[in-house]
Chains A and B, each alone.
Chain A
């Protein structure tokens, strides 16, 4: 089983500079575990300690944002293409502060 994973510039320190690597897994969670075995530290940049996808990392499976396909539970098939892009975000007020103001957890 081979899944092509495109790696953004900022994470290429973990892949020896490679912009695309190959991995395997029936779900996105499995794929990231598989990749971490070959590229130590990569998984920690994508998944929080609580086991969720990092809020400011965008992951796409075959051009679909995985937030809409089950996040880490997204099912994968042989030949699928996964792209990782760090979110481009920011602003005058911090996200955590804004979420606190809105009464929601950041």
Chain B
């Protein structure tokens, strides 16, 4: 289960949309061991490509060092697919190097509706997890027409996953 603040969810989606059709990427840092995704950090896609991404190596050093100083870890590592589904590709799986991270995939292939899904990737195995967005206001929920509790919306895994 990935729990995300509404503001951070919005920031990830906005980043993906802004960089479309290039893939967008970044992290959400949080206190080490807590599983809480609290600090949103956009990263530069050094590849500037529509089909792959790579964190700029100097930027990654800076951000990773900052997390170390703050006793944080990358709780979420996100990137977008701009023409395919929000599911980890073989490359995504092969290169996943933070076993404790939640890998968020956003797809911007549809101009209207964004796909936002989360996965754990360890030892080459992918497992999808539900995403819970906290702090949803009632008006926004009405337009999405999802069933909801008053304070959170749970995006369940699609059937068959």
- Chain A residues within CB distance 8 Å of chain B: 8-10, 56, 58, 60, 63, 65, 67, 83, 85-95, 98
A-B contact pairs, 27 of them (CB 8 A): A10-B99, A56-B97, A58-B60, A63-B61, A83-B65, A86-B97, A87-B95, A88-B54, A88-B55, A88-B77, A89-B47, A89-B54, A89-B91, A90-B79, A90-B88, A90-B91, A90-B95, A91-B47, A91-B53, A92-B51, A92-B83, A92-B89, A93-B51, A93-B89, A94-B90, A94-B91, A98-B51
Is B57 part of the binding interface, using a Cβ–Cβ cutoff of 8 Å? yes
Chain B proximity of A88: nearest CB distance (Å):
4
Chain B interfacial positions (CB closer than 8 Å to A): 23, 25, 27, 43, 47, 49, 51-55, 57-58, 60-61, 64-65, 73, 77, 79, 81-84, 88-92, 94-100
Structural contact, B23 and A91, CB atoms closer than 8 A? yes
Do the beta carbons of B51 and A60 come within 8 Å of each other? no
- Closest residue of chain A to B23, judged by CB? A91
B84-A9 in contact (CB<8A): no
Report the separation of the CA atoms of residues A88 and B58 in the bound assembly, to the nearest whole angstrom: 12
Task: Return the contact of A9 from the options B60, B82, B99 (Cβ within 8 A).
Answer: B99
Contacts A65-B58, A92-B83, A94-B89 given; does A87 touch B97 at CB 8 Å? yes
The 8 closest A-B pairs by CB, nearest first: A91-B52, A86-B97, A93-B51, A90-B92, A89-B54, A88-B55, A94-B91, A92-B81
Q: Report the bound CA distance from A98 to B53 in whole Å.
A: 12
Collect the chain B residues with CB atoms within 8 Å of residue A93's CB.
51-52, 89, 91
A95 CB to nearest chain B CB (Å) = 6
On chain A, the residues within 8 Å of B49 by CB distance are 91, 98
Q: CA separation between A94 and B82, bound complex, in Å? A: 14
A10 and B97 in contact, given A58-B57, A92-B84, A93-B91 (Cβ under 8 angstroms)? yes
Residues of B within 8 A of A63 (CB): 61
Q: Would you call B90 and A89 a contact (CB within 8 A)?
A: no
A95–B53 CA distance with the chains assembled, in angstroms: 9
Q: How far is the CB of A27 from chain B (nearest CB, A)?
A: 20
B43 nearest in chain A by CB position: A88
Q: How far, in Å, is A45 (CB) from chain B's closest CB? A: 10
The answer to whether B61 touches A95 (Cβ under 8 A) is no
- When distances are taken between beta carbons in the complex, the residues of chain A under 8 Å from B23 are 91-92
* Complex Cα gap A101–B98 (Å): 29
Apart from the given pairs A10-B97, A90-B53, 10 other A-B contacts in the complex at a CB distance below 8 Å: A83-B65, A89-B52, A90-B88, A90-B92, A91-B47, A91-B49, A91-B52, A91-B81, A93-B51, A93-B52
